Amino acid sequence: MHDLVIKNGTLVTPGAVKQTDIAIDEQKIAAIGTSLSGRQEIDAAGRIVFPGVIDAHTHMALPVGGTRSSDDFFTGTRAATCGGVTTIVDFTVGSRDTAIPGDIEHRKQEARDAVIDYALHAEVIGWIPGSVDEFREAIALGVGTFKFYTAYAASGRASDNGTLYHAFRALAPLDAAAFVHCEDEAIIESMLAQMDDDERTGMMALARSRPPVCEGSAIEQVAYFAGETGVRSHIVHVSSGLGLAAVKRAKARGVRLTAETCPQYLLLTRDVYEREDARLFSASPALREHADQEELWSGLRDGTLDLVATDHCPFTRAQKVWKGSFLDLPYGLPGVETLLPLLYSEGVAMGRLDLSDLPRLLSENPAKINGIYPKKGSLAVGSDADIVILDPMKEWTIRADDLHMSTDFSPYEGRKVRGRVAATIARGKVVYSGGVFCGEGGWGEFVPSSR
């Protein structure tokens, strides 16, 4: 007799779709087969059973522009469970005045109320070439992915080419990964310099100041350094066809590079910058055109893009009050709760993706790239019992008031969706079921990278 058995569901992995039962004992998957029995049973007949979703790019309680993203680790992971997410990968908050190991320990303290498990990327800000011990110590603390920016020089976050090159050389023999926000700072500044005051008062200026060539140029540079140093590299939030093409070229010549996109770049276009509430859509990279969306969907199908993450960084309407310029807004959008439903509805149900693409893009690849597979991201005996049950026929409409993220705005407000999470199990514990959150703060644990 097992602790918990999910019965009669359609179990979906990247390699198979089959109707079977799955049993859980002591927080692990214990058996997969038929006629299993448990002290607690969930009937998943007519529903899809996926490995728990890993949102590999979130920003909980992130200081931005004099404010802080509106979800902390409790509210953000609570919302995540309601959307089938069982692990997040967040970021340390780096600075020129702190060292990476200390940033990791501080962030773990901030995450102690997490409802689900979490891993961390380490922000690299103010790193001095030659300081390899910081990377080694971070890896010893369980963090094997390091975040760099090629933009945001005004806030001190940007790494110049010399820093990137030497950091990549230091990370390569450690088999650590460089995660990079790719936007060409020089192009951004040149675009801003050509704008008059009137242009800066409209949200469309955000898209004009950060065009697709800005992304493509930065990815090409990062890919060149990655190829020369042999470092594992990962491009976050690819937003454009030009960016996708740069990723494809790098992969074709053997660069150890992976890449992600986000739901906002698959589903929203720059047309939202013409709306009265355009300020709410401030984020970078900027939103693009319909043609870019089609190319990104194609990149997900053919494997050029390896995963979908949300870049979840929510703010309230009050936090995004208009102050006269798009430059004065905090950048970021909410999304951790709607990741799986949107990818199922707009991807699988619309015929853009196969059903088995979802566990590849939302579970297995995020786990592998972040060094937490097969503990996470797998429906296999011995893996953590992180499981989501989706009702594929449930139709609903996204409304911020009905969601659990700590914001009064959803970029997908009013969108009709097919497919809704019926239950979420995190390390064997039912944390969401039948529309009710039933998890608890502090259940989540830090998951160290195995690299």
pLDDT at residue number 302: 98
pLDDT digit string, tens, across residues 202-249: 999 999 999 999 999 999 999 999 999 999 999 999 999 999 999 999
CA–CA dist 257, 253 (Å, integer): 10
Hey, how many other C-beta atoms are within 10 angstroms of the C-beta on 449?
A: 20
Residue 199 pLDDT class (50, 70, 90 cuts): confident
Q: What's the whole-number average pLDDT of the chain?
A: 97
**DSSP of 82-109, one letter per residue?**
HTTEEEEEEE----TTS-HHHHHHHHHH
pLDDT at 349 over 70: yes
What is the signed CA dihedral for 439, 434, 118, 403, rounded to 10 degrees?
A: -100
Domain positions in the chain:
2-50+384-393+417-437, 52-369
For 193-198, the CB contacts below 8 A with 24+ separation are: none
pLDDT at 154 over 90: no
pLDDT at residue number 450: 85
Cα dihedral sign, 82-420-293-242: positive
Which tokens go with 448? 């160290």
pLDDT at residue number 341: 98
pLDDT digit string, tens, across residues 78-115: 999 999 999 999 999 999 999 999 999 999 999 999 99
Beta-bridge mates of residue 149: 158, 181
Q: Which CATH class is domain 2-50+384-393+417-437?
A: mainly beta
Residues contacting residue 350 through CB under 8 Å, at least 6 positions apart: none
pLDDT at 277 over 70: yes
Burial (CB count <10 Å: 0-12, 13-18, 19+), residue 35: exposed
Residue 451 pLDDT class (50, 70, 90 cuts): low
CB contact at 8 A, 213 and 236: no
Residues contacting residue 334 through CB under 8 Å, at least 6 positions apart: 71, 312, 313, 314, 405, 407, 409, 410, 411
pLDDT at 158 over 70: yes
Cα dihedral sign, 159-334-88-59: positive
Fold of 52-369: TIM Barrel (3.20.20)
pLDDT digit string, tens, across residues 27-37: 999 999 999 99
